[in-house]
Structure 1
Amino acid sequence: MTPSHVLVPLDGSPLAADALVYALDVFDCRITVLNVVTPIDVKMSEGGILEPEMSRLEEANERAERLIERARVRAEAADRTVETAIETGDPAETILAYIEGSDVDQVVMGSHGGPRTGVVRRLLGTVATTVTGESPVPVTVVQ
């Protein structure tokens, strides 16, 4: 079945960018790019010593806006448009909630963010693993 709405989660990694290029090339349908801003909370700070800072959240939101803008430019270069969304929360949970709350019928995502070394080369990242395992719609993983 040909999808009518593809979701491409973007995290700023080269593989996420490759996933967007793949989606734009392969699917002739509505595409939404999603960036999930993950707030730093006390549990994630250095031993719980630091309190969450608004400047960190502001920086994360600005980074998300830059990622989304790059996605728009890539789409325009391919003579396409994309819808955009920025959400806040745990990446895997937020992606899955977005799928459930929308009419997305296909996901295209990078296998993992960050450098590809050692065992990481052979394994999907934790976000991709979770989304692939729990998504109610097909997931294409770009490596």
Structure 2
Amino acid sequence: MTKTYSIHEVAELFDLPISTIRYYDKKGLLPFVAKNEAGNREFTRADLGFIKTICCLKNTGMPIKNIRQYIQYCMQGPTSMAERHALLEHHRQQVLNEQAKIAANLVEIDRKIAKYSDPSSTELIANQLRIAGQEKVSLGLDNPFNNF
């Protein structure tokens, strides 16, 4: 007999709160999950593959409505492969765009870390704040950097 998994086991396997799994079910993301006579969800190994994909899509920023659409395509079988492919290609491009933004922000963070690691950073920062304060005053604005 093939093993089934309880909602508690699935939550533990995917490091998800049980409430998240119930939410996913309520939002139509788990139409493949069967319920037993008591009304409890019973997950199979195949279900775990779907849940892994759902988590991947959610963790990479795909909205619930798009995940639901993807799952609906999956439930249609091989006739919807072109639609699945297009949906995932579009999402992949969005993930790549987000990665590029994160990489650019990481460059700025690394620049700041390097600046603060420099032995002359205290003097450099004090000078920057003096200049920023002078700019505020020259524009008739309050100078929040009065101490420098």
TM over 0.5: no
**Structure of larger gyration radius:** 2
Higher helix share: 2
TM-score between the two structures when normalised by the length of structure 1: 0.24
Higher strand share: 1
TM-score between the two structures when normalised by the length of structure 2: 0.23
